[in-house]
Amino acid sequence: MVQSTYQVRGMTCGHCAQSVTSELTALSGVQTVEVDVEAGRVTIRSAEALPLAEVQRAVDEAGFELAGSPA
């Protein structure tokens, strides 16, 4: 299992967290998504490393901005 944490800009509430979680869990191999709205942080656990472009697309689709590469 691979764990990656991303900074996401624009999240302000629980609905934001639900939108991001919904889009990211739809990606192939994603097992869990944890969103920390206050910190603007999203942690994804997946079977293998996810292509950054896929994560970017999912975050964009949810209406937010990926602020950097995974940590």
Mean pLDDT of 46-58: 96
Residue 38 pLDDT exceeds 80: yes
Residue 26 pLDDT exceeds 80: yes
Does residue 29 fall inside a structural domain? yes
Q: In Å, how far are 1, 29, 40, 41, 47 from 9, measured between CA atoms? A: 26, 24, 6, 9, 25
* Mean pLDDT rounded to a whole number for the chain: 95
Domain enclosing residue 32, as ranges: 2-66
pLDDT confidence bin for 71, thresholds 50/70/90: low
Does residue 47 fall inside a structural domain? yes
Q: Record the pTM.
A: 0.92
**Count of structural domains within the chain:** 1
Residue 64 pLDDT exceeds 90: yes
